[in-house]
Amino acid sequence: MMRCRPFRYHAPRTVAEAAKILRGEGPDAMVLAGGTDVIPNLKRKQFAPRTLVALRRIGELRTASDDGLTLGAATTLDAIARHAALPEAHRAARIAASKVATPQIRNRGTIGGNLCLDTRCTYYDQSAEWRQAIDFCKKAPGPHGTAIETPVEQGICWVAPGSPRCWAVSSTDAAPALIALGAEVTLVSADGERTIPLTDLYADDGMAFLTKKRDELLTAVRLPAAVEGWRSTYWKLRRRGAFDFPILGVGAALKLDAGGTVEAARVVLGAVASRPLPVDTSGLVGGPLSDEAIDAFAAKAAGPAKPLDNTDFTLHWRKRVVRAWVAGALRELRGDDSEEASLLSRSAARIPEPLSV
């Protein structure tokens, strides 16, 4: 089997203790939440931290607030998918969590881990031997990779060899959905804590994709209180019904008035750039959610999406599908397909069985 390089392992019991360790260890430390992504990456030697700081013993990271709207970062994805206290308006969060990977991974994987998920690329998510065969790339420019999130001015990006940057893809399902819902996240370091809009956690760079400082720990996600008239969904595109990371995610939330006019809208695309990509929704607001409005918006939304040849499916097709997926998500929010789901919505937005358990 594949083997990790040796590392030191800390499992603090409090957030304060974890923050202190992170401060002390410097850039060679990595946070280990569910481990469903970090451990395989360690085995492939994509990075080689000297220290892992595990969150498994920190009980405060697994609690939810009484109103159910603040979730500890170590809440499992499965728990979020089943989180009945979450208002119906925030359905997108439950759909997104329920569509990550597999039941086994959702049982271990956490919401904080999914939000901080390493960007992905089919040139990068490979073993050390494979990467040696292409003479490595910018994101992991040697046989032992590099510390996560540390830009290194060497190596090439094979996805776009002429480009100075890394084009690895933001592959979190949770982020597009939660940004569409207006979520905030709390970051704690030895210096104290700060709360920022979730969208500000991300930067459009395959390597420096988080604005979080290395010694900051993401501790909680806060969703706004549900307001009458809001509804949300998340459409995920992947080849199979399980396992796969998104090759497109559409998080969408709308507020409709009684007459069907859009009062507010947030639409965020996942997996088409190195960060979750918010779409300008000003064209939607103030009008009805007509077929024409949806199609015009979807066409415009597809513009900034820049899929590249580093995920499943071809980039041309992925670009083409953005429009259909955005339109599909909005039609679902309008109330279409409630009786007989269309082929696309069955594939993209069907909530798997665990929710009914």
Site for other proteins, rule CB under 8 A: 1-3, 5, 122, 125-127, 129-130, 132-135, 143, 156, 158, 161, 239-244, 312-314, 316-317, 320-321, 324, 343-344, 346-347, 352
Asked whether 170 and 119 are in contact (CB, 8 A), the reply is: yes
Please, which residue, 3 or 228, has the CB nearer to other proteins? Answer: 3
Least separation, in Å, of the C-beta of 186 and other proteins?
31
Q: How far apart are CA 235 and CA 246, in angstroms?
A: 10
Please, which residue, 13 or 346, has the CB nearer to other proteins? Answer: 346
SS3 68: coil
Tokens linked to 291: 């077929």
Please, which residue, 199 or 345, has the CB nearer to other proteins? Answer: 345
The residues near 262 (Cβ < 8 Å, ≥ 6 apart) are 254, 255, 256, 284, 285, 286, 287, 288, 289, 293
Q: How far apart are CA 84 and CA 185, in angstroms?
A: 21
Tokens linked to 262: 């859009």
Least separation, in Å, of the C-beta of 343 and other proteins?
5
Least separation, in Å, of the C-beta of 171 and other proteins?
11
Identity at 337, one-letter amino acid code: D
Least separation, in Å, of the C-beta of 102 and other proteins?
8
238-245: long-range contacts, CB 8 A cutoff, minimum separation 24: 238/312, 239/312, 239/313, 241/352, 242/101, 242/102, 242/352, 243/101, 243/102, 244/101, 244/312, 245/101, 245/120, 245/171, 245/271, 245/311
Please, which residue, 1 or 84, has the CB nearer to other proteins? Answer: 1
Least separation, in Å, of the C-beta of 327 and other proteins?
9
SS3 136: coil
Least separation, in Å, of the C-beta of 314 and other proteins?
5
Please, which residue, 51 or 127, has the CB nearer to other proteins? Answer: 127
DSSP tag of 218: E
Least separation, in Å, of the C-beta of 188 and other proteins?
32
The residues near 161 (Cβ < 8 Å, ≥ 6 apart) are none
CA distances from 33 to 106, 121, 266, 306 (A): 12, 22, 29, 30
Q: How far apart are CA 81 and CA 322, in angstroms?
A: 25
Please, which residue, 75 or 171, has the CB nearer to other proteins? Answer: 171
Please, which residue, 85 or 133, has the CB nearer to other proteins? Answer: 133
Please, which residue, 60 or 312, has the CB nearer to other proteins? Answer: 312
CA distances from 11 to 8, 21, 137, 286 (A): 10, 10, 32, 51
Least separation, in Å, of the C-beta of 21 and other proteins?
25
